Amino acid sequence: MSEQDRVKRFERLALPHLNDAYNLARWLTRDAQDADDVVQEAYLRAFRYFDGFKGDKARPWLLSIVRRVAYDWLERNRPSTVVRLDEAFRDGEPEPASSSAAVQPLDPEAHLLRATELRELNQAIADLPTQFREILVLRELHELSYKDIADIAAIPIGTVMSRLARARRLLKEALTRRPPREAINGA
């Protein structure tokens, strides 16, 4: 295969997933320019590894490279956001006391779709520790299976499940902690 054919074949396979790649990079780096850089570097890296790609699922393969490049980038530029969270939230750590039995003062889910609160929802996702944010984004926005997420994040399926549960709980807590709307809008 000529080099040009190889580029064409790669482009046909990888470019349809550009928005997915960008969305993941954007949620991981939380910055438009950084996401742009990460995606470009990821595509170049993917192209270099292209011969090693045997599978038929291009999307998880590409997203796993985007993820790796994004983490490299975070470690180079914002090491604290990666390391600190690993220490704070070790997998296998006993879950905190169950929250489901407790009475929930607010009903965060019911508030999610209010236009005025969309920004806060998105901010709350952005504020999640990276490891939980990535699982949530892969599941809810990219609608990937636990198996694909496990492959992308290089963790066991059981960990995918526990991190997803933790991500949802943290998100719910963040939204519940917010002051009621009256307090935000003022008198």
Partner 1 sequence: MNPGMDCKEAEEAVHGYVDGELDRAAAARVDAHIRGCAQCRRLYERERQMSASLRQAAERFTAPADLGQRIGAALEMAAKPASREHAVSWRQLGLAASFLLVAVISSALTFRFSVPGETDRQGEEVISGHVRALVANHMTDVASSDQHTVKPWFNGKLDLSPPVVDLAREEFPLVGGRLDYVDGHPVAALVYRHRQHPITLYVWVDGSAGDGAARHLSRRGYNALGWTLKGTVFWAVSDINAEDLQRFAELLKSQA
Q: Which residues bind partner 1 (CB under 8 A)?
A: 3-4, 6-7, 10-11, 15, 18-19, 21-23, 26-27, 32-33, 35-37, 39-41, 43-44, 47-48, 98, 100-101, 108-110, 112-113, 118, 121-122, 125, 136-137, 139-141, 143, 145-146, 161, 164-165, 168, 171-172
CB 30 within 8 A of CB 126: yes
First to last CA, the chain: 70
In the complex, what is the shortest distance from the CB of residue 82 to partner 1, in angstroms, rounded to a whole number?
18
In the complex, what is the shortest distance from the CB of residue 61 to partner 1, in angstroms, rounded to a whole number?
16
Between residues 92 and 186, which has the closer beta carbon with respect to partner 1? 92
Between residues 98 and 187, which has the closer beta carbon with respect to partner 1? 98
Taking alpha carbons only, the member of 17, 34, 23 closest to residue 136 is 23
In the complex, what is the shortest distance from the CB of residue 74 to partner 1, in angstroms, rounded to a whole number?
14
Between residues 36 and 82, which has the closer beta carbon with respect to partner 1? 36
∠ at Cα 167 (55, 23), nearest 5°?
50
180 burial via Cβ count (<10 Å: 0-12, 13-18, 19+): exposed
CA torsion angle for 43, 48, 51, 53 (degrees, to 10)? -40
Q: Which residues contact 53 (CB under 8 A, 6 or more apart)?
A: 46, 61
Between residues 35 and 152, which has the closer beta carbon with respect to partner 1? 35
Q: Could you tell me how far CA 12 lies from the centroid of its own chain? A: 25
- Give the count of beta carbons closer than 10 Å to the beta carbon of residue 82: 14
In the complex, what is the shortest distance from the CB of residue 79 to partner 1, in angstroms, rounded to a whole number?
17
In the complex, what is the shortest distance from the CB of residue 187 to partner 1, in angstroms, rounded to a whole number?
28
Between residues 82 and 111, which has the closer beta carbon with respect to partner 1? 111
